[in-house]
Chains A and B, each alone.
Chain A
Amino acid sequence: MIAAQSLTFGYTPNSPIFQGFNWQVQRGETWAILGSSGCGKTTLLYLLAGLRIPTHGRIEIDGERLTRPRPNSGLILQDYGLLPWATVRENAGLGLRVRGFYGDDGKHTPKNFQPENRVEYWLERLGLNEVADKYPSQISGGQRQRTAIARTLALSPDLLLMDEPFSSLDAITREDLQYLTLSLCEEQKLTLVIVTHSIEEAASLGGKILLVGASPRVFENPHVRDDDYRNSGKFRDLCDLLWKEMRGDPHPALSRGERVEI
């Protein structure tokens, strides 16, 4: 679904964050992009969202070169990006209003887009009915993030891009939303790319994990959807491995350029 080919990007020409980077994501996969602060993981997500354009190389989604935000991709940011002057219901319906504003021009809105008001469904499904008429400042962080998810899903995307979406939430809310994200991806047949600096979050959500750094590496995590996976030894082993990798103590197989599967 996503193909990054010889991707090069930097905010200044002499210090590229990515150089000749190649990456493939298949439809329906869940990917976690992991890395320490400032390593370029958010930049990669913005490139996938079409909010940044590569200096060299290209990103293709469904075979089409990405040059601007793609109507079928949904982006959810750490700070939720909710309008403070709009209620939860208005925020959740914002994407549809933007599409209604342009009509199905194929640029801002997918061609042949059938405007179907799914806002009420998603408000109900994500437990936001009771706070639907409240403003973002009146609700909890978890509810704000659910609103951002409702706003994105109301547009029926096929690709969900998330930038550290749960980092400012308490542990219980975070875990609830992580489970919710995984189940929604499965239910709605979504491809997920989530950026995180948390090893546990990457191991909980990413069927594959891309560790971004001087030389980006991929870790397979095939048991991510297993019941009680987070309490298993495999989960802990993967976290240990990722922790060592992030500290610069690579697995022998990785230093040979191979993929590692737990």
Chain B
Amino acid sequence: MKRRDLLFSAAGLIVLWQVVAMLVNRPILPAPLEVLIVFAQELGNDLIVHFIHSLWRVIAGMSLSVLIAAPLGLAVGGSKRLDRIFSPIIYLLYPIPKVVFVPVVLLFLGIGDLAKITIIFLILFFQIVVLVRDQAAGLPPQLIQSLRSLGAGRRALFRFVYLPASLPGILTALRQSIGTAVAVLYITELFATKYGLGYYIYYNGSTLFYYPAMYAGVIAMSLLGLGMYYSVDWLERKWCKWKFVS
């Protein structure tokens, strides 16, 4: 996607927002300029602190899920025996919407960051396991055979074939999950915390009725998602150069 196209789209959305705000003409939908001014002011106050708390939680959850799910996906995709054991379990658990476990996780892990990170981890974990497993299992047999003929045993196959082959799968899973992860982050931050963008949005919107600040929080959360999306794109261009050559 070109940067110019993105700027045009953003400008279009702001114009649309302005038009709707003028039509509605109520405090619940302030105009974009008003929100942007409050956004800048709030950044100087504590919006940045809330942003950092949310960013930490979502990055911790994502990192944890990649570190645990990617090796498991590789192992299951590379071994028929492990696939027979784990695939039925994954198939049973994968379709369950993990967000329903929010109360359970909070009860077990308490109200700190661990519970919030665990929920994000749970959501991403299954997506990554499934994508990496499929990627590893779908490798052409000729590729494996020719590496084996070069002397590669199981360890070298993982190092030189399965691991690099799974990178696009991991990044795709991350990209697909960012939206869900940020949405779940919002839900987890509604409970028992005083920091995080979820808390900030809810507190300003439902307790203080300070709508411009609420929208500033929404913008911050959107920027969080967008920034992560672009970071994954950047990593993909850096680590998977071969996918972008003509």
Q: Give A residues with C-beta under 8 Å from B.
A: 46, 49-51, 69, 71, 73-81, 83-86, 94-95, 97-99, 101-102, 107-109, 134-135, 137-138, 148, 151, 155, 161
Per-position binary interface string of chain B over residues 132-151, scored 1 when its CB falls under 8 Å from any chain A CB and 0 otherwise: 00000000101101111111
Chain A nearest Cβ from B194, distance in angstroms = 45
For the complex, count residues of B whose C-beta is within 8 A of A. Answer: 25
Asked if A98 contacts B156 (CB within 8 A), the reply is: yes
Asked if B242 contacts A73 (CB within 8 A), the reply is: no
- Check B240 for interface membership: any CB of A closer than 8 A: yes
Tell me the bound Cα distance from A77 to B150 in angstroms: 12
Scoring B145, B150, B159 by chain A CB atoms within 10 A of each residue's CB, the highest score goes to B150
Asked if B165 contacts A85 (CB within 8 A), the reply is: yes
Asked if B151 contacts A109 (CB within 8 A), the reply is: yes
Asked if B151 contacts A138 (CB within 8 A), the reply is: no
Q: Which residues of B in the span 162-177 have a Cβ within 8 Å of any Cβ on A?
A: 164-165, 167
Q: Known interface pairs A135-B245, A138-B246. Does A83 touch B160 (Cβ–Cβ under 8 Å)?
A: yes
Per-position binary interface string of chain B over residues 8-50, scored 1 when its CB falls under 8 Å from any chain A CB and 0 otherwise: 0000000000000000000000000000000000000000000
Chain B positions within 8 Å of A97 at CB level: 160
Chain A positions within 8 Å of B165 at CB level: 85
18 more contacts with CB within 8 A, not counting A69-B151, A98-B152, are A49-B145, A69-B150, A75-B145, A75-B149, A75-B150, A77-B142, A78-B142, A79-B140, A80-B146, A94-B160, A95-B151, A97-B160, A98-B150, A102-B151, A135-B241, A135-B242, A151-B150, A161-B149
- Check B232 for interface membership: any CB of A closer than 8 A: no
Q: Known interface pairs A71-B151, A109-B151. Does A98 touch B145 (Cβ–Cβ under 8 Å)?
A: no
The 10 closest A-B pairs by CB, nearest first: A81-B146, A75-B149, A108-B151, A95-B150, A135-B242, A79-B142, A85-B242, A98-B152, A77-B142, A85-B164
Q: Give B residues with C-beta under 8 Å from A.
A: 140, 142-143, 145-153, 155-156, 159-161, 164-165, 167, 240-242, 245-246
Chain A positions within 8 Å of B151 at CB level: 69, 71, 95, 98-99, 102, 108-109
Asked if B156 contacts A69 (CB within 8 A), the reply is: no
Asked if A94 contacts B150 (CB within 8 A), the reply is: yes
Tell me the bound Cα distance from A79 to B143 in angstroms: 8
Tell me if B's interface is mostly helix, strand, loop or mixed: helix
Q: Known interface pairs A78-B142, A102-B156. Does A84 touch B150 (Cβ–Cβ under 8 Å)?
A: no
CB pairs A–B below 8 angstroms (23 shown): A49-B149, A69-B149, A69-B151, A74-B149, A75-B145, A75-B150, A76-B146, A79-B142, A81-B145, A83-B160, A83-B161, A85-B164, A85-B165, A97-B160, A98-B150, A98-B151, A99-B151, A102-B156, A108-B151, A109-B151, A134-B245, A138-B245, A161-B149
Tell me the bound Cα distance from A138 to B142 in angstroms: 20
Chain B positions within 8 Å of A78 at CB level: 142
Tell me the bound Cα distance from A110 to B150 in angstroms: 11
Q: Known interface pairs A94-B160, A97-B160. Does A73 touch B149 (Cβ–Cβ under 8 Å)?
A: yes
Asked if B156 contacts A81 (CB within 8 A), the reply is: no
Tell me the bound Cα distance from A145 to B145 in angstroms: 16
Asked if A81 contacts B147 (CB within 8 A), the reply is: yes
Scoring A76, A108, A148 by chain B CB atoms within 10 A of each residue's CB, the highest score goes to A108
Chain A positions within 8 Å of B148 at CB level: 51, 69
Chain A positions within 8 Å of B143 at CB level: 79, 81, 83
Closest residue of chain B to A152 (Cβ to Cβ) is B150
Tell me the bound Cα distance from A83 to B156 in angstroms: 14
Closest residue of chain A to B164 (Cβ to Cβ) is A85
Asked if A155 contacts B142 (CB within 8 A), the reply is: no
Chain B nearest Cβ from A42, distance in angstroms = 10
